[in-house]
Structure 1
């Protein structure tokens, strides 16, 4: 019996949905996850790479992403950070890190 998508898949879907809602062209180039736990919480760490046009709309959407409300079933995004943004040939590739906690 399947329990549904894992937290990494849900984070990626939430980011893609937020980009579409904002009218921002974006492609998820990479997504990886690993389990994480503290003394009181269980969750996962996520690394993502997003590719989009090197334009004002993508930059504006990306700048607001760490504070965006990205609901995902069964989890809370406890932290989301833009690690780096590389620009070349009219494209921007952003590296993100996220931490999800199971609810």
Structure 2
């Protein structure tokens, strides 16, 4: 019996959807996820890299990502942070770290 997509897959889809609605064409490359737990919560820490055209829409989207409403079935996004951004030849590569918590 399948439980459906995991948090990393749901997060990837949510980021792609949110970027698209903001006019950004992103391509997510690597996704590394590590299970995480505190005394009261269970979830995962995710590190994603993405490539996109280095345009104003990307800068706006990345700047607003910490406040974005990303919907993940069965999970909540507790924190989203852009930890690195490199620009080269009209392209940008960003690293994003996201903490999800099982709802």
What is the TM-score when the length of structure 2 is the normalising length? 0.96
Partner of 2:99: 99
Give the deviation of 1:19 after TM superposition: 0.9
Report the alpha carbon displacement of residue 65 of structure 1 after superposing the two structures with TM: 1.1
Task: Count the aligned residue pairs.
Answer: 103
What secondary structure, in the 3-state scheme, does the structure 2 residue paired with 1:80 have?
Answer: strand
Does residue 71 (structure 1) correspond to residue 79 (structure 2)? The answer is no
CA distance in structure 1 between the aligned counterparts of 2:54 and 2:8, rounded to whole angstroms: 26
Shift in Å, 1:30:
1.3
Over the aligned positions, Cα root-mean-square deviation in angstroms equals 0.7
- The answer for unaligned runs of 5 or more in structure 2 is none
- Note the C-alpha offset of 1:82: 0.4
Deviation at 1:50, TM superposition (A): 1.2
Match of 2:6 in 1: 6
